[in-house]
Every structure is written in structure tokens, then in C-alpha cells.
Amino acid sequence: DTGVSQNPRHKITKRGQNVTFRCDPISEHNRLYWYRQTLGQGPEFLTYFQNEAQLEKSRLLSDRFSAERPKGSFSTLEIQRTEQGDSAMYLCASSLVQGGNNEQFFGPGTRLTVL
């Protein structure tokens, strides 16, 4: 257990529905990242926050995806009008940027299945 928690752990939804995932990072960590991982691939970067500011978004993050970190603590990732191609593991990671150290600690992930 890295101290990063994600909820729910599993989500099954029908195509076209909206889903929202939550990530609670390690409390003193100022950076929070979202990644997506499909079977047999490495995690792919989606977006990251420094405190409450969203500083970068991947081109993988279509307009149907939105992420927030309103108080610089927990974060939510919402997917609107889900598609079958959205089925993946969504991973959250957090880090404390301090000097040169930026080690990222990953949560257990939310596995999304879109039927």
C-alpha cells in the first residue's frame, strides 16, 4: 500500500454513460497525476496537477475527459459519454516535488469496463 487510494476499484458501465473516479493522494504530496493503462501496455500519461492547478494535458485526453483537483488534495477524473475504447485501468499517482526528487507513488487503479 503506497498511501494513494482510488475509488471505485472497478466500474462497469454502458456505452454513453458518464463515470467519475476519485483519487486521494499521499497527504503532503503536491503533484497528482492521472495515467491510463491498457492490457500489455505501460501506463500512458493523461494529465497532472501541481496543487490545484492543472498544468498539462495529454492529447490522449479528449474533450469527454475532465479532471479536477479543487482544493489541491483529492482529484476526480470524469469521462462523459463513455465509449468502449475507454475501457482501461485508470491509475493515479502522487509525488512531492522537492529538489530533484519526484518519485511517483501509484494507487491501485480503477478498472473501467464499458459495455
Partner 1 sequence: GQSLEQPSEVTAVEGAIVQINCTYQTSGFYGLSWYQQHDGGAPTFLSYNALDGLEETGRFSSFLSRSDSYGYLLLQELQMKDSASYFCAVRGFQKLVFGTGTRLLVSP
Could you tell me which stretch among 18-26, 64-72, 75-83, 100-108 binds partner 1 (CB under 8 A)? Answer: 100-108
User: Quick check: 41 binds partner 1 (CB under 8 A)?
Assistant: yes
Residue 55 binds partner 1 (CB under 8 A): yes
CB of 16 to partner 1, least distance (A): 28
The reply on whether position 42 binds partner 1 by CB under 8 A is yes
Q: Does 90 bind partner 1 (CB under 8 A)?
A: no
Whose Cβ is closer to partner 1: residue 4's or residue 88's?
4
The residue within the footprint of partner 1, chosen from 24, 74, 87, 108 (CB under 8 A), is 108
Classify residue 40 by burial, with Cβ atoms within 10 Å: 0-12, 13-18, 19+: exposed
Integer CA distances (angstroms), 35 to 19, 91, 99, in order: 16, 5, 24
Question: What string of DSSP letters covers 22-81?
Answer: EEE--TT--EEEEEEE-TTS--EEEEEEETTEEEEE-TTS-TTEEEE-TTSS-EEEEESS
Could you list the residues that contact partner 1 (CB under 8 A)? 2, 4, 33, 40-45, 48, 55-56, 91, 100, 102-109
